[in-house]
Each structure stands twice: as structure tokens, then as C-alpha cells.
Structure 1
Amino acid sequence: MTDSISLVDRSTAKKPTRSRKPIPTVDTTGTTSAVDALAEAPATSPTLAVDQIVHVDPTTLLIGPNVRKTTDPEAYKALVGSIAELGVLEAVTAFVTEDGQLEIVTGQTRTNAAVEAGATSIPVRIIAKPESTTLAQLVENTARAPMTRADQVAAAKQLAFDFKLPAAQIAKRTTLARKDIDHALKVADAPVALAGLDKDGLSLELLAAVADSGLTEEEAKPVFEARWNPEMELQRAVRNKEIRVAVQSETDKHRAAGVQVTKVAPTDDYGTPNKDTKAAWVRDLIDAKTEKQVSAKEHENCPGHAVWIGQHGYHHDTNIDIMPVCLDPKAHGHALAAGRAAAGKPQMSDEEKALKKQNTHLNKAWPEVTEVRLDWIRDHLLPLKKLPNGWQLFIADDLMSEHEHYTAHLGLSGNPVVLNRILALGVRVSESEHQTGYRYVSTSDVASRFRAELAKRPDHAILALAIQRHESAMEVRGGWEKLSPRYMQWLVDNGYRLTEEEQIILDRRVALEGKRRAGRAEDEAAAESADDEGDDFA
């Protein structure tokens, strides 16, 4: 992030000690030309017409509040150099105050730069006093160098709250899009979102989503400090909060009912026993004498009965597990069932454990990662009026290298949930009663709406089909192993930010491809060596 510099505010600064010429009064009818007005009016008080341009010493101008609080230091330095060499090429605007001075409305940065460059005169276009200098500045600044998020939020807040302008009017009278105004106003009213204004890579849209999320500033930190995709971190932060709230609610209910609640799980997600506790899952226990399985219902009468509340193992949602536990099985006459003892499990190396842990994490996170990616495609790629350069080449390359897959995935057969989502076709999505996490839609409804989309936006519809082909191959559990580096690179080239999980998978794919290439090179070298030996023998 480039450092920002605060603009000089000379509204109350001490002016240089030099004689000041009286500021002309303004003729708002605009009928008198600049030349005639200056020639005919008394020398001590010439009349200036609205839209007249006069040349004024920049140090004599008043500079009022500016909606642009910061500017890029390199751009400002370049502006000072340009003015020193060429002067101010475009007039600033100012109105005459009640005490006869000129107050800048737009062009504060140019005026400050002119003073710094040592300019003795700059062009000033006279205007009538505006109802809102903030609005006038906002119109000009949005047409010039992009305003910072903080400046947009501050300006939108002032126009909405101080000048009582509705969002639609602010958008109509400035060059800011209505959605940007809506986002800015949400951020302005949410301290948690304001805390992320100075962070790189966070759009107003994302900050507005943070404002709507219900997160505290502490809970939103992972979003503001994200090294990877911040949308993913926001979704994860919201999900984790929902889980924490659900866990606390169930914990309070069980404790109120007299049930012990342990915060320490007997095993990790991979089944490895926790060395810091004697506890064991009731599902893994047998009666030490009869060797009969201990049921959860029977165990409720055990002095060591407790429950563990949280998410254990693979989860794609915010549902929590309430799992019966015995806090000390041996002391209460229980034993681990055959095959449940840790000693009977094959020992894995540290590398194997790390790989298994990473794979489990990827399986668990993949549905969430996919949702973030598909939402980005739906909200930022396919709504573009003009698709990004190279989209035809992407599809052509895809057809040449993956043509055998298109028969299965490029049509509307199978489960077109992805197509429905990324094109926002609006077909109702249902959850399977038999397969957790599986969603389906009516293929005929999607086909009908897709045909309408194809007639309206053929390029977008064709690109969506190509995207569906890639995403459909990855929609099953473990589908991340089929992630296409070429597909992901194309998304990144067009503005998508990878999640950490996607980067891990791509790194592994690249490493694997490197090993394959090395293996092929060794095979080719061995084949050449065998050919050479054959030639010698002949």
C-alpha cells in the first residue's frame, strides 16, 4: 500500500503579507463578458460574471473543506512538477464569499500544488455559491483520479446525513454508481466496517458485507488481514460465529439440564486419541465385563457421562454435533471396543500425518471455497457487458485439450446447479434427503431459462457452459483434486483472488506435474541410451 499524504488545509492558515486586490463582485446573470466587465467596471471593484475565468495569485485563495482527504504522494509530486513547468492548465472553480474573498470549490489539490511549485497566478473560473461544496467536489473528483474508499464514504455520509440527499439523488448528481453509494452509506454507519477502510484489497462491496455480517471488529480481523481471498475469510468468519453461538446455546441448555459438558474432544478429526484427556467417545466403548456395546441411552446413568458439543469431522454447514463422552472409561467399568485402541492403528510418519490433515481440511473447506468462487463468477465476471479479452481463446484451448469431457458436462444433462447459480437463472434449489450436502434443480426449468439467456446474451451463456464444465468436475467431495490450473489462472487473470486452499492445491498440482515431467525425461533418456546401445551392437 502506497503511503498517503494529507493535503494542506490553508482555510485558516496565515496568509503572506502582501497587498490584496479587492475581489470583484459577481454578476450571476452572466450577460457581461469578462473583458467588458473588467474594462467598464471601476478599477477598485470590477464585476465578474459567472463562468468568467480570471488569473489569481494562488496564495490569496481560501481553501474550504475537501472531500478528498488523501492523495497518492507520487501523483502529487508529479503534479507539482507539471505545474512548475507548464502552469495550471485547467481552471479551478471558486465563488465569492460575503467578505469579498474567493473560496475554492474544486481544485484544492491543484491550488496547493501551485503554491508549492511557486506559481504566482492560476486560472480560476467563477461560479455561483453552490448549495453543497461537497457535492461539487464529489462530481469533479470522481471524474478525475479515483477517490479513496475513505473519501467516498465520508462524502456519501455528509451528503446523505447533513444534506438529507437520498442515495438515488446522490448517484444521479455524481458519477458514483448507486450500488457504490449504498455500500458507502452502510460502511459509514458501521464502526466494524470503518476499521477496514485503510486496508488494501478490500472493496466497498466487501466492507458493506462486513457491516451486514454482525461481526465484531475482533471477529472481522481475519477478513481485514487476509493474505488470500477476503470474501472467503468473511464467509468463514460468519460461519464460525454461527457455530460458536450454536455451541454456546446448546452448552447452556445441557448444563441447565444437569448434563456435564466437556470442551476437550477425546480424539481429533482424524481419530487420533487426545493425550490430554482420559475421555472416550461412548460409541467406542464396551462393558469391560460383558463386552457388550455401551449405548448412549444406557450411558446417561454413568457418573462419567458428559457430552462434547461442536463440529467433529467433515462438515459443510453450520450444524453442530452433540456427542456422548465418558470422562474416565476405566474407572466406570468400560473398555475400548476392539479396533478402537490407538495401539492397533498403523503408525504414520509425520509427513503422512501432515498430508492427511491437509487433505481432510481441503475436503472440509472445499464446498465453502467453491461457493465463494461461483459467487465471484456470478457477481463480477458474467455481469460484464463486455467479456474480458481472451475469453474465446480460453474456450478454444479448453475444447482442444479437454474435448472428451464436453459431451458429459457442456450440455444440460446431469445436475446443472452450477449453471443455475452463475447465470442467476433463479430456478429453486433443493437439498437431497438422502445425500448430505447434495443439491439439485429441475433440469427442464434450467434448460428453458438457459435457452432464453442464450438468445439474449449468447457469448455469456457459452462462457458459462465452459465454466460449468470445470466446476461440475469438482462439485463432488474430494473434487478439488480435479482443479484445473489453466482454468484457475484464467480466473486470476480476470481479477479473481485465490483462497489459501486453492493455492495449496495448485502448488501440489504444479509439484506433481514437475515430477511427471522429470519421470518422462528419465524414460526418454533411458530409451535413447537403449537405442544407442542397439546401434553399437548392430
Structure 2
Amino acid sequence: MSQTLELVDPKTLIVDANVRADADLTKEFVANVKANGVLQAITAYRDAEGALRVLYGQRRTLAAVEAGLTAMPVYVADSLEEADRIGTQVAENDQRRALTDHDRAEAFHQMALLGVSAAQIARKAGAEKGTVERAIKARKNDTATAALGAGRTLDQALVLAEFEDDAEATAELESVIADEPDQLDHLAQRLRNNRAIAARLAEAKAEAEAQGLTVVARIGYDASDEALPLRYLVDAEGSQPAEDAANAVALRLYQTDGEISREPGIVGWKELGYRYKSPYGEVRQSGPMTEEQKAERKTLIANNKAMDAAQAVRREWVRTLLARKSAPKGWQRFLAVAHTRHHNVIRDRSADLAAELAGVAKEKDYLSAALTEHVAAHPGRPEVALLALALAGLEENVDRQAWRRPGNGARFYLSQLAEWGYPLSDVERIITDDAKPSDQGEEDAAAEDEDAEPEDAA
């Protein structure tokens, strides 16, 4: 691009729509230009009518006009295609003063309207293709566009757009963005899980109602409960009602990828002539749960769901970690400790999960050869496979109940991720903040799972 240096009256320059939403003409900046002039030449080009249009330096040009300057240095360049003007302007502005996500999304949107592909925009603007695609997506959504205009980041705007039809979720998201922005991914994943669970339960409810069953929130176990399981009831002859006598069902879903639990029972059993009889013969607690029991149950359910969400966020973060050009700081010591102090945790590591974390998973990888092939293809980066295997072993050890019985392996794993920059969720901090070693045996752990109260639907 050829260009000549000229002194031009700033009032004669045409300032087109710029990628900056706000030129930010502070009093201090205008005063500086008035006192010292424009020290760095702007760049402009002549259009078909011979007028000079500003290519780089909108802010300096407007400040020069505001300051009353009659001349400023201008590099006059050849005409550029509109898409090149916007793309080059984005790169130039980012070097001078970082654009906001709103400015960048608007620029990418303009270029996309001109028919420029995301890959081409990425090359012209020096951005990642994925970022360009997400910015264009955000700009097409009114909620995301408004969020960007309000100063939200691209990630924050897209999450707000994702839940724009849910006022309660939006309020939660806004609160986290304002107070704990590093927890946004964790909250968003919990909301996604809740939405997925609600959708599956809605389908199951419709199916049950089509079968003539009443869907109830809970099948109880006490004589004061309106709905009871068949095994707690007898008819006038002292016989337990048959399975086809059930007229109600309670639906529960523990995890998004789990099976829906369907517990049949009879609602309105007294009116139907049944009597209560415990099948175990022991005296059960009479009446509803105490407030303390309700609080414990609520905490149990909330933390289990939080662990489900944290797993998705955590694994995605580990994939991003292993995709970096260089290994995380202190990775050698991490491997040494993992393979010595925590060898019993990582010995049953999953090669498939390791390949997934390394970003090299393949479909129908029956021999689990993906990592082996990655090592062969990248001989200079063996640490990726080694880290993936160790991390996979530790990751599999952090299940949804880990917060109830924090183990040394889980504590070591999450603490290391936090040291590498991973934002721990509140429920994960329960594990890392527990300094007591876990010596609970497998039998105790299994018994604890069996004794756990079933979760209600989300």
C-alpha cells in the first residue's frame, strides 16, 4: 500500500463509522492534542470523489477537530476494499488501545454482512476463528448485543443470551457476573444441567399421565403421607395391592445422563380402602422431616448437582490446558507426585478419558490407540500424553459424592488445577479446604451411598 505524508485540515476529513462504539474523547486527551498537536500521523485514503476518508486515527481526528487544529499530519493511502478497511482497522486499534468485545463483535458483524467468511475475518483481524464465529453469533442476538453494549465480555453475553427466556436464571447469572465472574462457567453448567433434567422429566411426566398415572412429587413412607408405595399398604383382606393397582408415580433424575427413577404408589390410599402397614415391622418416624433434616437434604441435593456441573466445566478446562503450546508450570513434579503418592488412584486410569482430555479421542477406538498415535505424531511433546493419563486417573476419582468424603487424591488434583489457573467452584473448595486425610474405606463409602436420601427432580 503506497502512501504520502500531507498536512490536512482535520475538518475536511471524513470519519466513517468506526469499529469503536465510543471514541472516548476525554477532556485530558483533547487538551493534550490542543497543546501539542497530533504527534502521530493518521492514515486516510481518497475515495472515488477525491475526498479523504480516515482509515486509522478516528479518535485523533475527532480530537483535532474538537481542539480547533487547522492542520494535522495524514498519510494518504490508496483506496481499500471496505472489508480490508474494517479488518485492518481492528488490528490497528487493538495495537493502540484494546477494543471492547462490543467493538470487535460489531466489526466482525459488518465484515460478515459483506460476505467475508469467518476464516478470512480471523486472518484480516488477527483473531481466532472460533472467537470470530462466537462474536458474529452474539451480534445476531438482541440480548447478547445489548449485553456487549453494556460492557459485558463476549463469553458473558453469550451465556446471558442462552438463558434469555429464563428470568430467574438471568438474575443468577447477572449476580455472578457482578460479584464472582470466575464462577460464571460453573453456574452456567448447573443451569444447563437443570434445564436438561427438567426437559427429560417433562417427557417422562407426559408419558406417565398418558398411562393414566398421577405424577406426584414424592411417594412417602409414613402413615401421614398422601401417597405410599404398594409395599406399605394392605387391602381389607390384609393383602398387598398388585402392581397394576398403582395410580401414581414419583419421578426423579439424579444426573443428566442417568436413568429416570420411577417409583409407583397409590395416592388417596385411605379413600380407596387401604390400610398402612410397614413391611419391615419396625416403628418408623411419624410425621414430616424436621427443618434440620430438610436443610441437610437440600444441601445434599444442591452439592451433588453442583459437582455434576463442575465436572463438565473442569474437564473442558483441562482440555484447554493440554491444548496449549507449552506444558503447565511444574508439570514434572506433578507427574512425580501423582505416580508415587497417588499411584493407587491413577492406576486404573481410563485411556479413553485421557484421549478425550488430550483432544485426540477417536470414534470406535477399540484398542485405545489414540494417545499412542498422538505420541508418534508429536515426538517433541510426550508430556501431553503423560499428563492426560495422570489427569484422567485423578479425574475419574472425583465423583459427585467427593465433597462428602474428600480424599487425598481429589484434594491433590483440584489443588493442582487451581494452581494452574482453574477457578474452583464452591463445592470443589469444600474438597480442597478439607485438610483432614480421608481414611474412609470402600465399604463405608458404599454404605454412605446406600443411606443417601433420593434426590427430588430439579
Q: Is the 8 A contact 1:374 1:422 kept in 2?
A: yes
* Alignment match of 1:391 (pick from 330, 333, 356): 330
Q: Is the 8 A contact 2:183 2:425 kept in 1?
A: yes
Instruction: State the match for 1:473 in structure 2.
Output: 397
**What is the percent sequence identity of the aligned residues?**
25
One-letter amino acid of the counterpart of residue 330, structure 2: W
Distance 1:320 1:472, change over 3 A: closer
Instruction: State the match for 1:407 in structure 2.
Output: 343
One-letter amino acid of the counterpart of residue 425, structure 2: T
Shift of residue 337 of structure 1? 2.0
- What is the rounded CA distance, in whole Å, between the counterparts of 1:284 and 1:72 in structure 2? 73
* Alignment match of 2:355 (pick from 408, 420, 433): 420
Instruction: State the match for 1:110 in structure 2.
Output: 60
1:448 matched to 2:372: yes
Distance 1:391 1:501, change over 3 A: same
Distance 1:452 1:290, change over 3 A: farther
Instruction: State the match for 2:318 in structure 1.
Output: 377
Aligned residues: 426
**If the length of structure 2 is used for normalisation, what is the TM-score?**
0.75
Distance 1:218 1:354, change over 3 A: closer
Shift of residue 287 of structure 1? 0.6
1:175 matched to 2:126: yes
Instruction: State the match for 1:155 in structure 2.
Output: 107
Within-5 A mapping of 1:74-473:
79-80=29-30, 83=33, 87-96=37-46, 101-115=51-65, 121-132=71-82, 133-161=85-113, 163-197=114-148, 202-204=153-155, 216=165, 218=167, 221=170, 222-223=172-173, 225-226=175-176, 227=180, 229-262=183-216, 264-266=217-219, 278-283=225-230, 285-287=232-234, 289=236, 291-299=238-246, 305-309=247-251, 311=252, 314-317=254-257, 319-332=259-272, 333-338=274-279, 343=285, 350=292, 354-355=295-296, 357-378=298-319, 380-388=320-328, 390-392=329-331, 395-396=332-333, 399=336, 404-409=340-345, 413-428=348-363, 444-445=368-369, 448-449=372-373, 451-452=375-376, 455-473=379-397
- What is the rounded CA distance, in whole Å, between the counterparts of 1:466 and 1:85 in structure 2? 62
- What is the rounded CA distance, in whole Å, between the counterparts of 1:426 and 1:119 in structure 2? 62
| CA deviation vs aligned residue, 1:39-75 (integer Å, no higher than 9, x gap) | xxxxxxxxxxx511123343443322111103679xx
One-letter amino acid of the counterpart of residue 139, structure 2: A
Q: Could you tell me which runs of 5 or more consecutive residues in structure 1 were left unpaired when the two chains were aligned.
A: 1-29, 31-49, 300-304, 430-440, 514-538
Q: Is the 8 A contact 1:195 1:217 kept in 2?
A: no
Give the 3-state SS of the residue equivalent to 2:341 in structure 1: helix
- What is the rounded CA distance, in whole Å, between the counterparts of 2:223 and 2:64 in structure 1? 70
- What is the rounded CA distance, in whole Å, between the counterparts of 2:207 and 2:356 in structure 1? 38
Shift of residue 139 of structure 1? 3.7
One-letter amino acid of the counterpart of residue 428, structure 2: E
Larger radius of gyration: 1
**If the length of structure 1 is used for normalisation, what is the TM-score?**
0.65
Q: Is the 8 A contact 1:142 1:174 kept in 2?
A: no
| CA deviation vs aligned residue, 1:282-312 (integer Å, no higher than 9, x gap) | 255221555544443233xxxxx23334x25
* Alignment match of 1:61 (pick from 7, 13, 22): 13
One-letter amino acid of the counterpart of residue 91, structure 1: A
**Higher alpha-carbon deviation: 471-480 or 241-250:** 471-480
Give the 3-state SS of the residue equivalent to 2:386 in structure 1: helix
- What is the rounded CA distance, in whole Å, between the counterparts of 1:107 and 1:427 in structure 2? 49
Q: Is the 8 A contact 1:391 1:463 kept in 2?
A: no
One-letter amino acid of the counterpart of residue 415, structure 1: S
Give the 3-state SS of the residue equivalent to 1:68 in structure 2: coil
Q: Is the 8 A contact 2:375 2:381 kept in 1?
A: no
Give the 3-state SS of the residue equivalent to 1:70 in structure 2: coil
Q: Is the 8 A contact 1:94 1:102 kept in 2?
A: yes
One-letter amino acid of the counterpart of residue 110, structure 1: R
Distance 1:96 1:199, change over 3 A: closer
Distance 1:428 1:358, change over 3 A: farther
One-letter amino acid of the counterpart of residue 375, structure 1: E
- What is the rounded CA distance, in whole Å, between the counterparts of 1:158 and 1:224 in structure 2? 28
Distance 1:104 1:492, change over 3 A: farther
- Higher RCO, 1 or 2 (CA under 8 Å, sep at least 6)? 2
